[in-house]
Amino acid sequence: MPTESLLADPPLWLTTPFLGEPDATALLGTLDAELPWQRPTLRLYGREHPIPRCQVWIGDPEARYRYSGRDFLPEPWHPAVAILRDRVIAALTMTGTECHFNSVLLNRYAGGEERMGWHSDDEPELGPKALIAAVSLGAERPLRFRWKDRRASAFNAWLPHDSLLVMGPGTQEWLQHALLPRRLPGLRISLTFRQVHA
Ligand SMILES: O=C(O)CCC(=O)C(=O)O
Ligand SMILES: [Mn+2]
Look at ligand 1, atom 8, and give the residue with the nearest C-alpha. Answer: 192
Indicate which atom in ligand 1 lies nearest the CA of residue 141: 3
Sorted by where each starts, the structural domains of the chain and their CATH numbers stand as: 3-194 (2.60.120.590)
Ligand located closest to 116 CA: 1
| C-alpha–C-alpha distance, residues 38 and 40, integer Å | 6
177 CA distance to ligand 2 middle (Å): 6
Extended beta strands in 51-154, E state:
54-59, 65-67, 70-72, 103-109, 116-119, 132-138, 141-147
- Note the pLDDT of residue 71: 77
Indicate which atom in ligand 1 lies nearest the CA of residue 105: 9
What secondary structure letter does DSSP report for 7? E
Q: Which residues approach ligand 1 with their CB closer than 6 A?
A: 105, 107, 116, 121, 134, 136, 143, 159, 177, 179, 190, 192
Q: Per-residue pLDDT for the chain (198 aa), expressed as one digit of tens each?
A: 799 999 999 999 999 999 999 999 999 999 999 999 999 988 889 999 999 999 999 999 999 877 666 777 899 999 999 999 999 999 999 999 999 999 999 999 999 999 999 999 998 889 888 999 999 999 999 999 999 999 999 999 999 999 999 999 999 999 999 999 999 889 999 999 999 997
Among 103, 177, 187, which is best to mutate for testing ligand 1, by the most ligand atoms less than 8 A from CB?
A: 177
Indicate which atom in ligand 1 lies nearest the CA of residue 119: 7
Residues 6+ apart with CB under 8 A from 64: 71, 72, 73, 74, 125, 196, 198
User: In one letter, which amino acid is 95?
Assistant: T
What secondary structure letter does DSSP report for 73? P
pTM score over 0.85? yes
Burial class from Cβ neighbours inside 10 Å (0-12, 13-18, 19+) for residue 43 reads exposed
